[in-house]
Amino acid sequence: MQISKIEALPKEVPKRLRVAAYARVSSDKDAMFQSLSSQISYYSDLIQSNPEWEFVEVFADYALTGTRDTRPEFQRMLAECKAGNISKIITKSISRLARNTVTVLESVQALRELGVDIFFEKENINSISPEGDLMLTILSSYAQEESRSVSENCIWRIRKQFAEGKPTGGNLLGYRQENSVFIIIPEEAELVKQIFEDYLSGMGFTAIEKKLRGQGVKFTKSAISKLIRNEKYQGDMRLQKTFSLDHISKKKMVNRGEKQQFYVHHSHEAIISKEMFAEAQAEIKRRAEHFNAKPEPPKTYPFTGMIRCGICGANYRRKHTAAGTKYNKVVWICGTFNTYGRSECESQQIPENILEAKVAEVGGLDMIAEILVPGHNRLTFVLKDGSHRDVAWENPSRSKSWTPEMKESARQRQLDRNKAEGVNTDG
């Protein structure tokens, strides 16, 4: 009897589902860190205990509101889904994913197109199921309404504080807050007085900024301008200068009369007198009227916005050196070096004609995305195809750049000086 041997087919190992979880807490309390840690531990154990699932990661955001789309871990999770690394996401509830209907539905729809299911534990819904869309639309609307209610409660609380004359913001230079009262910090108050005095002595914002930098204080021109306009330094408070546009975008708007404002006189100890503050406001107005003629639109050049300093990161700008003389030369110079000097940035100016020559060597300006200046006499061209070209350059000496006419003129001037001084040049 003939026996035929049949090879058994290899068992196909079932492919495990790649599962991730998303957790988020949006509270400023210290307990939020414990809450987030608990959620991460819970989801890690839940996913790894299921033999049909392969644990990917728990993506977790904290201290960010669900009404915004800037959550970094949420965005990273979406990127992993697009890369095909996640098949299923577990999250606590719809309000944990996002608090406005549009964001929830857009996210769910995008993930469904990628074949990624989201399971909401509290609502017991799988987004990829047939009834998922309807239920999600209804429940997401509730989540958005809840966010609006919370936002309105916060606004009511803040406005109540405003009506009581209590500030809601943080500290500012010269003060710290204790129980909604501004308390003077003596050493910082001296700096505030110095800024007001310097401004009234005729110094501009740039000059004050340079002086502060020399003292080791980094304060921008914009911050100085706001400081001089801030009524809190004369002991008063104007409350609700800004407001949030809505509970979804939370865009901050300057209050130009849309909302009620509150002005509190003598709310705290002043750093400067009311007379000095009024004098500073009058000086601001005087300078604005004197200098604020309609400016000409800024000129742009082929290299504008293309050259970046490798030492401090500032953009290079175009400048004429020795303007109005025969030694006039066009150069490109780091903005930090040009404004604050070598103490802030030890970069080097580059003659425009050298830049043009080096650009031609690498194929022309149309080929270049950016020009970096990593150090002296070095350029790095970042090309539009993503490649880099490192180029060295050399500034010719002044003697080599002189024309025969310039040399003859210099020789004649020296002869004239020698003759005037009675020097014998006949050998």
Location of each CATH 3.40.50.1390 domain in the chain? 17-148
pLDDT of residue 113: 85
pLDDT band at 147 (very low <50, low <70, confident <90, very high): low
Tokens read off for 285: 């107005």
Domain 17-148 has CATH 1.25.40.10: no
90: Cβ contacts below 8 Å, ≥ 6 apart: 19, 20, 21, 22, 43, 46, 47, 118, 119, 121
Say how far apart CA 155 and CA 87 lie, in whole Å.
40
pLDDT, the chain, mean: 79
Tell me the mean pLDDT in the region 372-383.
Answer: 91
pLDDT of residue 65: 47
pLDDT of residue 241: 62
Model confidence over 67-110: pLDDT tens digits? 445 678 888 999 999 999 999 999 988 777 766 666 777 788 78
Nearest to 334 by CA among 323, 319, 352, 353: 319
Helices (H) and strands (E) in the chain, counts: 13, 18
pLDDT reading at 2 higher than 60 = yes
pLDDT band at 29 (very low <50, low <70, confident <90, very high): very low
Sheet containing 125-126, strands listed edge to edge, beginning at the edge strand earlier in sequence? 53-62, 17-25, 88-91, 117-120, 125-126
pLDDT of residue 66: 44
DSSP state of 305: T
Considering only 37-41, 128-132, 166-170, 410-414, which range has the smallest mean pLDDT? 166-170
pLDDT of residue 333: 93
This prediction's pTM: 0.40
Model confidence over 33-75: pLDDT tens digits? 567 778 888 999 999 999 999 999 999 887 554 444 567 888 8
Nearest to 164 by CA among 62, 35, 53, 262: 262
Q: Tell me which amino acid residue 289 is.
A: E
In angstroms and rounded to an integer, the radius of gyration of the C-alpha atoms of the chain is 33
pLDDT reading at 14 higher than 70 = no
Nearest to 182 by CA among 234, 225, 241, 240: 234
H or E, element range at 329: strand 329-334
Model confidence over 249-276: pLDDT tens digits? 456 666 666 666 667 788 788 999 999 9
Backbone angles phi, psi at 201, to 5 degrees: -80, -5
To the nearest 5 percent, what fractions of the chain are helix, strand and coil?
40, 20, 40
